[in-house]
Amino acid sequence: MKRLIKTELDREMAIAFLKRIDLQDRPFLFSCIQEKIKRSVQQNRLERLWLTCISHETGNDVDDLHKYFKEKYTEPIITRVFGKEIITYTTTNLNTIQFTNFLEKIRIEADRDLSIRLPLPIDQYWQEFYDFYIDKL
């Protein structure tokens, strides 16, 4: 049984289910995993549009820019293979709040260090920005 628990009623129903399990028949494996809200498709699109703008303005490759910002603003994942330390950076596991923070750091750096203003969809000049860069993706 898989059950999403969002309310007190959901919790009570899950507890009731567990209490009804007949343990004499065979053992059961119980697992409880907190749902992780992954970043949204809109956030991914915004990042790509912003990186396209930065690429257009600086001449850097979009994928290289993505790697640069990941290394600068995400925590390294360190694994060992054959005794050698492997360091990787990823945004894949960021939830919506963490990815929003990641995007804000990119936005601040672009404004402060590159004099590039990256608008949000709610900003006054968003549509003009979007129309200009969407065809460059």
3-state SS assignment for residue 128: helix
Domain count along the chain: 1
Tokens 């900003």 correspond to 123
Within a domain: 55: yes
Task: Give pLDDT tens digits for 74-129.
Answer: 999 999 999 999 999 999 989 899 999 999 999 999 999 999 999 999 999 999 99
Q: Is 51 among the domain residues?
A: yes
Asked whether residue 102 is assigned to any structural domain, the reply reads: yes
Contact in structure between 70 and 90 (CB atoms under 8 Å) = yes
User: Hey, which residues does 78 pair with through a beta bridge?
Assistant: 87
With bands split at pLDDT 50, 70 and 90, how would you rate the model's confidence at 18? Answer: confident
Distances from the Cα of 50 to the Cα of 26, 35, 39, angstroms: 55, 29, 16
DSSP β-bridge partners for residue 85? 80
Is residue 98 in some structural domain?
A: yes
The range of the structural domain enclosing residue 128 comes to 41-136
Q: pLDDT value at position 33?
A: 77
**Would 13 be classed as within a structural domain?**
no
Global pTM exceeds 0.75: no
